[in-house]
Structure 1
């Protein structure tokens, strides 16, 4: 039960904290953008089965691949995409933590 609580806390509440700390002047907008980056999970719909309890998303789903993560990292260097990049990268960190729970 704790891993699920941690997972959803990191997906929903932690981005709010990140937004407040790093984008204070527009933290509500930044939090909303970071929450919207969870649509990256749409790539789960192409998997068969769509959901598998013990499957690590990192390296399995296309938008969770190491190539995609590299692109997300590059987005950090552009001011217009920085909030999106932070949201996507934090999402990947959260999913990687899930992978560690499985190991």
Structure 2
């Protein structure tokens, strides 16, 4: 696993932790755990062959990484009851999109 992939995975944990610390400090572990559930959308990678392809952009390729699904994640971020999960999903997609750009433009 390369440096980009390791950094990508670390950011999937660190960015929700930073958000939880900044905005929900009194409920840090609760908020962080709910946002980490955004990682569950990577279960759609199990439908791909191969399951892990280092140079493949997940946005638009995997079913839970498509525009309709992303729209649902944005809606989930609005109501208080689903906000933390929705934010976790949106952060996950944003980090995946950044990774796609990195793959495309970095040597």
By the TM > 0.5 criterion, same fold? yes
3-state DSSP class of the match of 1:13? helix
Output aligned runs, 1:1-103, within 5 Å: 1-103=2-104
Q: Deviations over 1:69-92 (max 9, x none)?
A: 000001121110000011000000
TM-score, structure 2 as length reference: 0.88
Q: Could you tell me how far apart the structure 1 residues matched to 2:43 and 2:21 are?
A: 27
Aligned length: 103
In angstroms, what is the RMSD of aligned CA positions? 1.2
Q: Deviations over 1:52-80 (max 9, x none)?
A: 11110011101111110000001121110
Note the C-alpha offset of 1:39. 1.2
Q: Give runs of ≥4 in structure 1 deviating > 4 Å.
A: none
TM-score, structure 1 as length reference: 0.91
Unpaired runs of 5+ residues, structure 2, are none
